Amino acid sequence: MTKPTTDSPPILESRSHPFFTSKEEQRYIALGHEYPDFIYPAHPDAVQEGFAYLFSAGFRPPSGEDFDPDNPPMRRMGIPRRKMIGMIGIFRKIMKGMRQSWEDIEPYFGQLEPTPFEPKPGLWEELNGFIQKKWKDVRVGFTELPQQMIFKNKFTLFRYALIVSQEMKRDKIDKAPDLTAGKEVMRVYGSLGLVVNDIARWLRKQGVRCQSNHPLGGLTNTPTLAGKAGMGWQGRSGLLITPEFGPRVRLAPVFIEHPYFEFTDHRDHDWIEAYCELCQRCERECPGQAINSEKTVAIDNVPGIGALRTCIDRIRCFEFFSKTLGCSVCVKVCPFSEGGDIYERLKAVVQKRQD
Ligand code: SF4
Ligand code: SF4
């Protein structure tokens, strides 16, 4: 058993707000403090996760009012309890998945010294076979996780990432911003949380040390990570646009100790950025006016990505997203959400303009 490295200076700060950080996650972060030499921490330039930022001391509300940790401004916006009551079953599933993901990795603490890497030929094919047999709407990519993509004050146990996506149904998303779309968002959050836990358990049975991360227990910036892994490209809406389902997916990672699979990294989908310049539909139709025309740089020099940029005003988005329990107007109006051959048709539009 590994002894805690008590003489090392702490490299983490537990600053996440308890409103958005479960007690299991707080315990995970506390355990990380005991083993600072064995965890994979966020880069010093890393940014705070979206929702946690809104409850942090670093949050600057547009009104300019002072931060009060006992009554943070975003809490006063109020998430509608009446709407939440109709989704109790889904929230139970979400909570179950989140708890499971933290509990499953607890045995690793105390055994975090790196183990020798022994390649496992054929494991990628076996993993994809396992996934396709169980879930027709799940896709995966594999990449190295840059520390800049880990959220501020957080860490992972391992440095490689299997990124998992799951489709949200089009007929439900088409009802946005009605609660029907919000329920679909939450349904897939719940379902994907259990999918990544299942995949992690399957991998452990194959002798792979890994850590699943619930899509609502965010340790990393998944849309950019999935873009790095070649699964699509980040659109103006900040969401990953995939060739098959457009932005109608949710994402969650499984962190893995060794590079058992070939990286799926490529930039074949980066033309999507040029299409966004022509389209701008999500920006026009966003009910929260949360999508800016210009991108701001959040972090520079991210390995495999370049600059991490965004058009999203997360304060404005969060306000509307929480009131509707999932909003999703930007997903509904995105032409890529149509699926089918739309990816190829829009690519041809961009190519024609560039010729
Ligand atoms: S989720 Fe809604 S509020 Fe947020 S960016 Fe999309 S359309 Fe705008
Ligand atoms: S709606 Fe248009 S601008 Fe927005 S992400 Fe989709 S393609 Fe890009």
Q: Note the pLDDT of residue 58.
A: 59
Sign of CA dihedral 2, 34, 102, 186: negative
**What 3-state class would DSSP assign to 279?**
helix
Sign of CA dihedral 133, 138, 139, 141: negative
CA distance 83 to 93: 17
165 residue type, one letter: S
Ligand nearest to the CA of 292: 1
* Within-domain flag for 154: yes
Pocket perturbation via mutation, ligand 1, pick of 174, 317, 332, 333 by most ligand atoms within 8 A of CB: 317
What's the 82 CA to ligand 1 centre distance in angstroms?
21
pLDDT grade for 22, boundaries at 50, 70 and 90: confident
pLDDT above 60: residue 18: no
pLDDT at position 118 over 90: yes
**Of the candidate ranges 133-137, 187-191, 291-295, the one whose mean pLDDT is the lowest:** 291-295
**Residue 237, domain member (yes or no):** yes
Determine, yes or no, domain membership for 285.
yes
Pocket test for ligand 1, best of 281, 283, 291 (most atoms within 8 A of CB): 291
| Residue 16, in any domain of the structure | no
Note whether residue 162 is domain-resident. yes
Q: Tell me the average pLDDT across 270-275.
A: 95
Question: Which atom of ligand 2 is closest in space to residue 279's alpha carbon?
Answer: 2
Segment 154-170 shows an average pLDDT of 97
Per DSSP, the three-state class of 68 is coil
What would the mean pLDDT of 137-156 be, rounded to a whole number? 94
pLDDT of residue 65: 54
The pTM score is 0.89
**Residue with the nearest Cα to atom 6 of ligand 1?**
330
Amino acid identity for residue 324 in this structure: T
285 alpha carbon – ligand 1 mean position (Å): 9
Residue 268 is assigned to a structural domain of this protein:
yes
Long-range contacts from 301-306, C-beta under 8 angstroms, 24+ separation? 301/148, 302/146, 302/148, 302/149, 302/224, 303/144, 303/146, 303/148, 304/143, 304/144, 304/146, 304/228, 304/265, 305/146, 305/149, 305/224, 305/227, 305/228
Highest mean pLDDT among 94-98, 111-115, 126-130: 126-130
* pLDDT higher than threshold 80 for residue 198: yes
Q: Which residue has the tokens 């659109």?
A: 235
Q: Which tokens go with 192?
A: 């994907």
Q: Is 77 a residue whose pLDDT tops 60?
A: no
Domains identified in the chain, total number: 1
Return the pLDDT at 15: 45
Does 70 map to a domain?
Answer: no
Specify if 81 maps to a domain.
yes
Mean predicted confidence (pLDDT) in 165-179: 96
Domain that holds residue 195: 28-63+75-110+121-354
Ligand nearest to the CA of 312: 1
Helical spans, DSSP H, in 174-301: 179-205, 222-228, 272-279, 281-285
Q: Give the separation between CA 184 and CA 3, rounded to whole angstroms.
A: 45
pLDDT score, position 307 = 74
